[in-house]
Structure 1
Amino acid sequence: MTGTPVGGRVATAANPLRCAVLISGSGSGMEAMVKAQQQHDLFHTTSVVISNRSEAGGIQLAKKLGVKVELVLPPNDAENTRTSHEDLIMQILQQYDIEFVVLSGYMRLLSPHILESWGGRIVNIHPSYLPHFPGAHAHRDVLASGARLTGCTVHMVDEGMDSGVVLAQETVPVLGSDDESSLSNRVKVEEHRLYPRVLSWIAQGFVTIKSGKVHLDVPQVPQDD
């Protein structure tokens, strides 16, 4: 059984997988992704960047790179904030004819409401070697634990906190001199290499759904930095 590509189709450089990148902060991962797409003949492209925070630094980075930006602030109605907010996001995904969603420093958990429509078509990158140190303060938690090894993880998104199927990981040593900033900066180097590579696997049809489960079948080829 071949399986169904999680991106919906096998893309090409001439017809790349159309992605939306969701951010909440500095946008360094998004910037690295877009630069990789613009500098190489990758099978994926960023059609729009969506931010849930008006002060996110990534907004100006995206504009400088020539990428469309949409700001989707959470509604004030506390009872329906998540569903209303996600409805607005899904409208933008439809408007830009998006095929795949990429979370990059997006600091909101997605609810079953959006996952009913987009589940299996969303990935995230987390700055630790999952399942160790999930959550919003991975670097702080790594340092507090005394761990000597951390890393980054690209995973499918489900309803849990950094609990989706792992697609790829890289390790990063924790140095005795590290603080949160220095550790974060070194982990980001690996994140910026890994994320475009995994998205290329997705765009080329190497990540599939078979019998309701995610499968990764990547040919053994040299990896680009």
Structure 2
Amino acid sequence: MSEVTKAKVVVIFSGGMDSFTVLHKALSQGYEVYAVSFNYGQRHDKELIYAANVCKELSITHKIVDLTSLNPLLAGSSLTDNIDVPEGHYEETSMKSTVVPNRNMIMLSMAVGYAVSISAEAVYFGAHSGDHAIYPDCRTEFVEAMNAVCQIANYAPVDIRAPYLKNDKIEILAEGLSMGLDYRKTWTCYNGRDKACGKCGACQERLEAFEKNKAVDPLEYE
């Protein structure tokens, strides 16, 4: 009997807890997953090490794309420039300094090109409702528009799928915990130090998600 060929998808995998959950969701749906991560000069580039380790453990094809040459064009973000990462919750206006101009459009465009080259039907990424207030390229309108464009940008249409677009981090973590996922294998903190800072918006949202799920975050904090 011939082996059934699985449909392919590309997952944009940062190494953080949202994309980690998305990666496993795609696997649970029976897809052959190809992961792609991006080094865009982020100060928390240790997330890429976490991404690589997960993909190695799962025997998933993983590519890390170097976008650091684009840094001079994407100035003004505290994630890539010599600007202090703000402390506080994502709902605070100060967190807008963490926006990297056009980041998701650039990453999605490259991931779609990769998807076309390997005949994958979709690109998955981890936008969620908690990002909507701060990040324009995580909002429903953006995802829907990108999906429409990617149906016609190549001979082969590619779907843009953000399975947690209408969920917050609390709900994403709840699903991941129900899947038995180990979040010690993820990195979230915007400060790429030895331990998570516990104070930046990314850390605060992560800690809140664990607290609301009555679970303990396995990462070490300063």
TM-score, length-scaled by structure 2? 0.42
TM-score by length of 1: 0.41
Which has the larger share of strand?
Answer: 1
